[in-house]
Amino acid sequence: MFGLGYFYGIDITYIILVMPALIFAMYAQSKVNTTFNKYSTVGNKHGYTGAEIARRILDMNGLRDVIVERVGGNLTDHYDPKKNVVRLSDSTYSSTSVAAIGVAAHEVGHAIQHAEGYTPIKIRNSIVPVVQIASYAAWPLAIFGILFSFSGLASFGVILFGLVVLFQLITLPVEFNASNRAISTLGNNAILDNEELAASKKVLSAAAMTYVASAAVAIANLLRLLSIVGMGRNRD
């Protein structure tokens, strides 16, 4: 369909650019699941639950207005800045494992970022509405532009997908910073001992890899889109 991008019906750009990133993403997801499952069986010596630690760290930082609530699912933990709520999954909320403690502290890290006006999270939150639209519209617009020789429309599709990549890249410092805050807080306040802290750090490091993988997939797809648009122009 797009000339050099296809070889006997096989999309070469997908194989060369996207597949390696997808394989990395699958590995990263497998890694975080196995790491979390491994340390979800290791309890902390104080018997703290994820919810208790989340509440404690929030209060330590003067964020008593932030609510901690339970949400269904496994590893569905997140901070909702609109409602000012830290939501902890079934696998974290009432668990006393070092894995759960690390995840809970990480999500609280996002609440602290929001309260402090941490620049990367402000930028990320500000572009969320645009990125949500861009993620759905970018490819259709680019392909439509190629098919009907509207180079400007194809370029606009590329620009929109570039915003998706930007979002993924901005997410990296946001997530790394939240994890660093979590480990520092858990260690400096003797919530976990050194051995427990090392285990929690492994869980958060594995989780961080999934964000790196997501960024890699986004970049690979952007390069693929650029390649397809470029070949479409050459065809014209």
Catalytic residues: 107
Alpha helices (H) in 61-118, listed in sequence order: 98-116
Cα 57 to Cα 25, 128, 158, 177, 232, distances in angstroms:
31, 27, 42, 16, 54
Note whether 75 and 88 are within 8 A (CB). no
Distance of CA 115 to the CA centre of its chain: 20
**CA atoms of 31 and 48, how far apart (whole Å):** 25
Q: How many CB atoms lie within 10 A of CB 95?
A: 23
CA-wise closest residue to 204 among 34, 4, 77, 35: 35
